Structure formats: C-alpha cells, structure tokens
Amino acid sequence: MSNKNKTQPICNLLNDIRHPLASLYKKANSIQEIDCSLKKLLDPSLKDKFELANINADIAVLLVSSSAWATRLRYSTPVILDTFNNQLNLTSIKTIRIKIKKLESENFTLIKKPIYLSNKSAQFLSNVANSFDDPELRKCFLNISKNHLK
C-alpha cells in the first residue's frame, strides 16, 4: 500500500507548509487574532457588532449584521484605520470596506403587490398602441394597458 492513500490527522495537513490548506489556515488564524486585538482597542459599544472578514493587500473588510451598524462603523472608519495603522502596526491597510452579512434567518421572500394603472392611463396607452404601425410594439402597449383596475 502506498503512502499517498494513508490518512493523516488534520493537524498534520494544516501545519504542513506544502499543503494548500496550510496557508488558508494560517491566514484565518491571523485574521481571527487581528479581529480580537482590534475589538479590544476600539469603543466597547462596537465590539460585538462587527467581525473582520478579510485583509487583502491594502483593504480590510468588516462584516456587520445590519445597515444601521454599517453606517455607524462608516462614521468610525478614521478611528478604525488609525487603529490598524498605528496600534496594530498594519500600515499597509489604507481602506476599510464594510459589508452587511446576510443572516440565515433572513431567508424570506418578499411578497410583491401588483401595480395597476389608472383607467385614464390605461386608455392613454391603448390609444398610443393603436397609433403604432409595428404589430409587436402595438401588442406590447396593449398588454400593458390591460393592467388597470376595473
């Protein structure tokens, strides 16, 4: 039996610098450590409202749970950037991106209410449709004009 088919503990794979998962694991750990350090240095009211998702080149990406917190964090961007650059020594970061993460409980569908034309608008579209020589265009306008309250 060859060594290629031999199973290995996951920790061996993650610590083997030749394995593709090792660099991903190292980056994830690094981001998690930076996230914890950043939260300790910022205003305590922000601590549980975001998570550092990624650092790529000169951009740090923060995830928040709502647009309200995204707005609040955007106002704090200069302080966050200063914290990255001066207190965490991550001087390469020049931009903070804030994204809203979709929660699993938000898997709902919106019910769209139908939109109806007024009778006057429907009559106008019908008249316009009858003025067209193109039968396809006339048909489209007539179909739209049928969408009115009766």
28-73 per-position pLDDT tens digit: 889 999 999 999 998 888 888 899 999 998 999 999 988 898 999 9
- CATH top-level class for 9-106? alpha beta
- The stretch 66-89 carries a mean pLDDT of 92
pLDDT, residue 109, reads 63
5-20 per-position pLDDT tens digit: 577 777 777 777 787 7
pLDDT, residue 1, reads 43
Amino acid at 71: T
- Bridge partners (DSSP) listed for residue 83: none
Cα–Cα distances in angstroms (integers) from residue 68 to residues 18, 42, 49, 50, 74, in the given order: 43, 18, 10, 12, 10
d(CA 74, CA 41): 17
Burial class (CB in 10 A: 0-12, 13-18, 19+), 121: middle
d(CA 136, CA 122): 18
